Structure 1
Amino acid sequence: MTNDTITPPPKSQLHPVFTVTNIQNKVRVLDGTKVAYASWVRLFKLHARGYDVLSHIDGAAAPAETHSSYADWCKVDVHVLQWIYGTVSDDLLPRILEDESTARAAWLRVKNIFNNNKGARAAALESEFNGLKLEHMPSLEAYCQRLRELAGMLKDVDAPVSERRLVIQLVRGLSGEYDTVASYINQTSPNFETARSMLELELHRKTGRDEAATALAAPAVAPSDPLG
């Protein structure tokens, strides 16, 4: 008696890309201001590599249309294309949205937007970077963050800012109340994040001192007389 068994075909595994339900939870929306192009590219590629779809944006050849894997490749490519469209700002989307596009083609359209007119964009960004001052910003945190953002955007247009220059500009734009710590930063030449921490510590110290002075200056309230 033979014991013939029929082995069922292996179940096809779900591609990792289909497990992502909201790409914006992983990649911030590119607007060229709050999120620089270089930062978006690095984060997008990180997730593309993690979900095994980097080949859809790095220029790798697609399978031939007659190949058995082509249909599955197209489904994955459309998903990556949705990632791109879903992580650009409302202003950028109309500039890259096209019918019958591949993910790679859309990726290159985004790249071209940020590569065109580099000279003019670099000049405008340099002007803002050199003129930015703490007094123009709502807080020290916002000031430091904007400097970092501008440095990232300058890198995007092939005008990178060195760490030393970034720290120099950070100090240059400070108000007089930071003169002491600014002088120390100039002498010690720390990196940007260390200099930022030093300024935040000085702000915390100053805030505490001002609050203590306000409390001491407050007039004492005489206790009420229970007998009238």
Structure 2
Amino acid sequence: MANDTHPPPASPSIPIPTAGSSSSGVVSLSQAIHSINIKSFILFTLDMQANNFSKLKTLFLIILDHFNLQSHVTDLEPHHNDPDCVKENLTILMWIYTTISHELLNLVMKPSSTAYGIWTHLDSIFTGNKPSHAIYLKNKFHTLTQGNLSVVAYCCKLQTLANTLADCDQPISERALIHKLICGLSTWFSILKRMLPALPIFTTFMQARDYLTMDKASQASSDKLATESALVALGTSSNTAPPPTIRIN
């Protein structure tokens, strides 16, 4: 008896772009990088005032490493005789120009530049003079206070300064970061500010930030409830009819 069982249809194979692929209809990885919008990966602009080179450098190197392109910013001459390599270098150069501020662009942009030349120039701007830059950053770190900033914004500023100091070979320990966080809190946290140093409950900066954020939200919720209760009480008293006035002739 013939076997009527038919094998399931084979799943269509989907070609995966890889370096060196040249099959019809398949775009190779080396070709695909030229159509990438770098701003879809890096959502901010490198700026001297923001001190965000550490963040950009980390993300940029991850992207370059993913596409096996790090040599373009680490080697002085990464095979510049190869036409494909020259094209890759120009693409990376455009990525760099796209992710920096106009001020930095005017400072570093030069004719016939390479990705390596512009990248090292940017690195020297932000980390070249490390000792003097570290003095400036340390002063900024130790004088920073929360003021009118939200807890999240204040913590972001502290973490950014700490990261930049680490780039200048002056790392801030986790405990020192938590201590500075507490010392710079606004008067809103005056009671909590006096209590926290005596409570060794934070092992990480993120734990401290989350605790303060929740405390702020809790206080805001309590204040809102108290305000609503006061308004209800005020409305009730205003709707109460006044006692009749007795006139004596």
Normalising by the smaller structure, the TM-score range is 0.7 to 0.9
CA distance in 1, matches of 2:187, 2:149: 16
Q: Map 1:204-223; keep pairs closer than 5 Å.
A: 204-218=217-231, 219-221=234-236, 222=238
TM-score scaled to structure 2, two decimals?
Answer: 0.76
1:51 Cα offset (Å)? 2.3
Q: How many residues align?
A: 211
Deviations 1:161-209 (A, max 9, x none): 1111111000001134424544346522321111000000100111011
Q: Which moved more, 1:208-217 or 1:10-19?
A: 10-19
CA distance in 2, matches of 1:26, 1:10: 28
Q: Which moved more, 1:177-186 or 1:137-146?
A: 177-186
Supply the RMSD in Å over aligned alpha carbons.
2.4
Unaligned runs of 5+ residues in structure 2 are 1-21, 242-249
What amino acid is aligned across from residue 98 of structure 1 in structure 2? K
1:32 Cα offset (Å)? 3.8
- Contact kept in structure 2, 1:33 and 1:149, CA below 8 Å: no
Change (3 A) 1:216 1:155: same
Name the counterpart of 2:122.
110
Deviations 1:12-70 (A, max 9, x none): 845231130x21221232114435212111100111112232221121743363xxxx1
What amino acid is aligned across from residue 110 of structure 1 in structure 2? L
Q: Map 1:7-156; keep pairs closer than 5 Å.
A: 13=28, 15-20=31-36, 22-27=37-42, 28-34=44-50, 36-59=52-75, 61-63=77-79, 65=81, 70-135=82-147, 137-156=148-167
What amino acid is aligned across from residue 155 of structure 1 in structure 2? A
What amino acid is aligned across from residue 117 of structure 1 in structure 2? N
Q: Which has the larger radius of gyration?
A: 2
Change (3 A) 1:200 1:210: same
TM-score scaled to structure 1, two decimals?
Answer: 0.82
What amino acid is aligned across from residue 25 of structure 1 in structure 2? S
CA distance in 2, matches of 1:129, 1:35: 12
Name the counterpart of 1:6.
none
Q: Which moved more, 1:189-198 or 1:216-225?
A: 216-225
* % identical equivalent positions: 27
Secondary structure of the corresponding residue to residue 92 of structure 1: helix
- Contact kept in structure 1, 2:51 and 2:161, CA below 8 Å: no
Secondary structure of the corresponding residue to residue 235 of structure 2: coil
Query: Are 1:169 and 2:180 matched, yes or no?
Result: yes
Bigger relative contact order, structure 1 or 2 (CA pairs below 8 A, ≥6 apart): 1
CA distance in 2, matches of 1:190, 1:32: 32
CA distance in 2, matches of 1:223, 1:190: 54
